[in-house]
Structure 1
Amino acid sequence: MRTPVSDPLRVGPYRIVGRLGSGGMGWVYLGRSASGRALAVKVVRPELASDPQFRSRFAREVEAARAVSGAFTAAVVDADTEGEPPWLATLYVAGPSLAEAVRTDGPLAEAEVRRLGAGLVEALQAIHAVGVVHRDLKPANVLLAEDGPRVIDFGISLFGGSSSITTVGTVMGTPPFMSPEQFKGELVGPPSDVFSLGAVLAFAATGNAPFGSGTGVLYRVLHDLPSLESVPAGLRRLVERCLAKNPADRPTTAALLDELATEAAPVPVWPPPTIAENIQSRKDDLATRNHSRGSVASVPSCLLLHAQALLDAGLTDRMVAEAVGRG
């Protein structure tokens, strides 16, 4: 496996044709199977792969993701949790994350948020049906596909409310979208995901997390009312109930789906126009890569990926420009 400055040509049996993103856990690449199927291949950073506890957590992520099926999750195709480094391959979803869509084009309209919410509720029902609690539902983990949202990244999920993933007292998640019980290090169940859902819907409607972010978010989640003044009136009560401090006071996913279905009339067009353009752009890029004769991405994409890799390595803009120019 190459270093991040030089992306891999293959991961397992899959040919790598470009980088989709990177984060603290590792890198996500666009890969191709022998038959040409597009896949998202997540590769763990070497320093994390050397940690037995993290490797065990990654294996449980694969287990949780494989257990979940449904129209609104990204299906696991293959994985090697014992590899050097470990990796996971899922079906590629040609769409932006909710975080990216809102950052680029602004909040969604009320009818679009309702359609998004119904899809996310169905995803949570599929997740909870096999005894899994996601625990990290957030805008970056919601991909917007042509036929609805996809929930991804089961990295800190747990089964059946057990403590097999992390022990009581351990706090894991993304603070602006975490439930009070997560902050307290308590065992969590499906109502915790409902709380996160409420925060995600508020973000989709306003562009902001309902308890803010940064310093003080823990206190606000535990003690303050959410900031929902900018949430459309027709959605505000539903979101408010999801964000109840007491898990027992939050609605069930079945009740949420009934409410979203009965009140979301007329059914909005999905995807929204700007997201549809984004999806088509990704499809066009995928088609370009398909027709490339080389084993890696087309030249423009290669240069962009190489520049990003150099920046990830901490090099200066001038050094990046020189390296890309030579490339």
Structure 2
Amino acid sequence: MERLRHDDPSHIGPYVILARLDSEAAERTVPERRYLGRTADGERTVLVCVPRTGADPSRWAVEAEGARRLSVPRFLHVAEVGGTAGSPWYASPYTPALPLQAVLAAYGGPLPEDTVRRLGAALAQALAALHAQGVTHAGLSPAAVLVTPGGPVLTCFGAVRAAAPDGTGRSGLPGLDPGCLAAEQASGGRPLPPGDVFALGAVLAYAATGHTVPEQSELPPGLRTLIGSCLSSDPAFRPRSVREVLGELVAPGAGPTPSGDLPEAPYAHTGTVLDHGTVPLPGRVVAALAAQSAALLALELPTPQQPFTTAQKVH
């Protein structure tokens, strides 16, 4: 959670803006501007998002509406879509959440291999359910992964599509992590599931090394072959589906998970990281989630007589 800057809005739709979700350092790879806000009566706190400067607001609004209609586990629940054609926004109910970059910062470096496997399995399961509906995420990156007390959720749905129409090169566009763009998407190709396989590999690489394009020697030996194949520039050499990636994460060497027989992802529990020891979020990450929640609760809405100030940065 970050202080607001002078160019940040004070209100978005019905919400008073309290703080930024993303750090300034991470912002260049975030395809939207993400804020924490609250209703004027103080009753509801939300994550509210708007297009980043330079984005096509109409394309972004279409993707936001698409996200609102999704019914897939482990995707951020978009509760509201609003605004004008030139200034759209969407909002989701607030739960403590850290972008994956902030998770590594809180932990102090790359995550343990077991945590990476469990994180990846949860994301792969979500993508498998999405692909089964004939939809591609088209925006998976470390910034798109929010780690919550109940495990990871996917955001930034359709970021690649919102950035540029098919046939338009996407390399170098603001908000798109170049390490997560498959070659066929970077050159303007229509986003398809193999592109999500590539991006999932980049996210796993980031969680395991701190880089989306690591040297092979940096990767944990147990994940080296899987991540390397996901990151192949040729889709034909990648795993055939995210189900295959899921199978390798859950049971290495067992092959792809059969259709309709998805295993329960390691994060799929009804409780939280605070009461489920089987969910291996490191203690420093759990502490950072709790600190964010406490800092946000402590923020008071501005009054007409009192200027609004935000809390100090919370890692």
TM-score using structure 2 length: 0.75
**1:169-195 C-alpha deviation (Å, 9 max, x unpaired):** 432542112112123332231011111
Separation (CA, whole Å) in 2 of partners of 1:235 and 1:133: 24
Q: Tell whether 2:170 aligns with 1:171.
A: yes
Secondary structure at the residue paired with 1:28? strand
Query: Which residue of 257, 272, 279 corresponds with 1:269?
Result: 279
The alpha-carbon deviation at position 83 of structure 1 amounts to 5.5
Residue of 129, 137, 144 corresponding to 2:147: 144
**Cα pair distance change 1:81/1:13, threshold 3 Å:** closer
After TM superposition, the structure 1 = structure 2 runs for residues 186-201 of structure 1, keeping only pairs within 5 Å, are 186-201=189-204
Cα distance per residue 1:211-255 (max 9 Å; x no partner): 5xxxxxxxxxxxxxxx22121111112112212232133221122
Give yes or no for contact 2:295–2:311 (8 Å, CA) kept in 1.
Answer: no
**Shift of residue 130, structure 1, vs aligned partner:** 3.6
The 5-angstrom pairing of residues 70-109 of structure 1 reads: 70-82=72-84, 85-104=87-106, 105-109=108-112
Is structure 2 residue 225 aligned with structure 1 residue 237? yes
More helix per residue:
1
**1:30 is matched with which residue?**
36
- Please say if residues 93 and 143 of structure 1, whose CA atoms lie closer than 8 Å, have aligned partners that are also in contact: no
The number of residue pairs the alignment matches comes to: 275
Residue 287 in structure 1 maps to residue 297 in structure 2: yes
Q: Bigger radius of gyration, 1 or 2?
A: 1
Q: Which amino acid counterpart does residue 89 of structure 1 have in structure 2? A: A
For 2:45, the aligned partner's letter is: A
Moved more, 174-183 or 271-280: 174-183
Q: Is 1:13 paired with 2:14? A: yes
How far apart, in 1, do the equivalents of 2:188 and 2:33 lie?
28
Q: Which amino acid in 2 is paired with 1:76?
A: V
Match of 1:316 in 2: none
In the alignment, residue 281 of structure 1 is paired with which amino acid?
A
The corresponding residue for 2:159 is 156
Equivalent residues of 2:302, 2:308 under 8 A apart: no
C-alpha separation between the residues in 2 aligned to 1:122 and 1:168?
A: 29
Shift of 1:81: 4.6
CA drift of 1:121 comes to: 0.6
Q: Is the 8 A contact 2:57 2:86 kept in 1?
A: no
Establish whether residue 112 from structure 1 lines up as the match of residue 115 from structure 2: yes
Structure 2 residue 40 is matched with structure 1 residue 41: no
Q: Deviations over 1:136-164 (max 9, x none)?
A: 311122111112111111252549xxxx9
Are 2:220 and 1:246 aligned? no
* Residues 230 and 18 of structure 1, relative CA distance in 2, 3 Å threshold: closer
Distance 1:37 1:103, change over 3 A: same
Question: RMSD over aligned Cα, in angstroms?
Answer: 3.3
DSSP-derived class of the 1:204 partner? helix
| Secondary structure of residue in 2 paired with 1:16 | strand
Kindly indicate whether the alpha-carbon contact (under 8 Å) linking 1:120 and 1:151 is maintained by their aligned counterparts in 2.
yes
1:30 Cα deviation after fit: 1.1
Aligned match of 1:207: 210
Residue 246 and residue 6 in structure 1: after superposition, are their counterparts in 2 closer, same or farther (change >3 A)?
closer
Letter of the aligned partner of 2:59 in structure 1?
R
Go from structure 1 to structure 2 and tell me whether the alpha carbon gap of 1:302 and 1:287 turns closer, same or farther (over 3 Å shift): closer
Task: Tell whether the 8 Å contact from 2:216 to 2:224 is kept in structure 1 after alignment.
Answer: yes
Query: What residue number does 2:248 align with?
Result: 259
Change (3 A) 1:261 1:70: same
Separation in structure 2 between the aligned mates of residue 130 and residue 82 of structure 1, nearest angstrom? 29
User: Aligned with 2:295: secondary structure?
Assistant: helix
Q: Deviations over 1:1-48 (max 9, x none)?
A: xx9627544322223333334757664221224572321112346x75
| Unpaired segments ≥5 residues, structure 1 | 212-226, 306-327
Give the TM-score normalised by the residue count of structure 1. 0.72
1:69 matches 2:71:
yes
